[in-house]
Amino acid sequence: MPNHLSPLGIFHTAVSILAVLIALYALIRYGKIDPATAVGKLYITLTAIACLTALPIMKTGHLSAGHGLAVIVLVLLPIGVYAKSIKFLGKGADYIQTIVMSSTLFFSMIPATIETLTRLPISHPLAADPNDPVAKMGLLILVVLYIVGVLYQVIKIRSGRKATGTPDSTVTLS
């Protein structure tokens, strides 16, 4: 079977897969993608490279929704990185950072899901196009996983605060 990916497409795909694997490792190991850790920094770097390399790839000859998602992820990454530095977010900064970082993975997974379902297996892809019922079901599963994952992370942050005696509504002074 012929390879329908350009060299940039191959590089983009490899970096994207690695970023997703790093994110999944972080989520399984630490329960979140933390920009302060080495794993979080690697995820951020690989995700930024994946988004930047996605921009010049135009399978249809023009900009697509995937390009828009790449831009959204590029906007969200610095918010996730610096959320804890934004004073007015206060105790909400942990929640914002966690939700934003999870959202970068979610938005990255939308085109990944569609591309995978419309390209594999090479001889007979599972979905004909993004509107195929299989593709829609894949995206629905992705949305459910995102919602469940974010809710789990929020509950984990909240229970961690209760365990340390630092409720969300209390300001602690060092």
Counting Cβ atoms within 10 Å, is residue 129 exposed (0-12), middle (13-18) or buried (19+)?
exposed
Per-residue pLDDT of the chain (174 residues; tens, 9 = 90+): 455 788 999 999 999 999 999 999 999 999 999 999 999 999 999 999 999 999 998 877 778 888 999 999 999 999 999 999 999 989 899 999 999 999 999 999 999 999 999 989 988 999 999 999 999 999 999 999 999 999 999 999 998 877 776 555 444 444
Q: What confidence score (pLDDT) does residue 171 get?
A: 46
Query: What pTM does this model have?
Result: 0.87
The H or E element containing residue 133 is helix 133-163
Give the ranges where 37-132 is alpha helix by DSSP (H): 38-54, 65-82, 92-119
CA distances from 86 to 82, 83, 93, 106, 152 (A): 7, 5, 7, 23, 24
Q: Tokens 């951020």, residue?
A: 44
Kindly report the CA angle at 144 between 40 and 22, in degrees rounded to 5?
Answer: 20
What does the alpha-carbon distance between residue 13 and residue 18 come to, in Å, rounded to a whole number? Answer: 9
What does the alpha-carbon distance between residue 28 and residue 48 come to, in Å, rounded to a whole number? Answer: 22
| Nearest partner of 18 among 141, 112, 139, 98, judged by Cα | 112
The H or E element containing residue 54 is helix 38-54
Q: What confidence score (pLDDT) does residue 144 get?
A: 98
First to last CA, the chain: 63
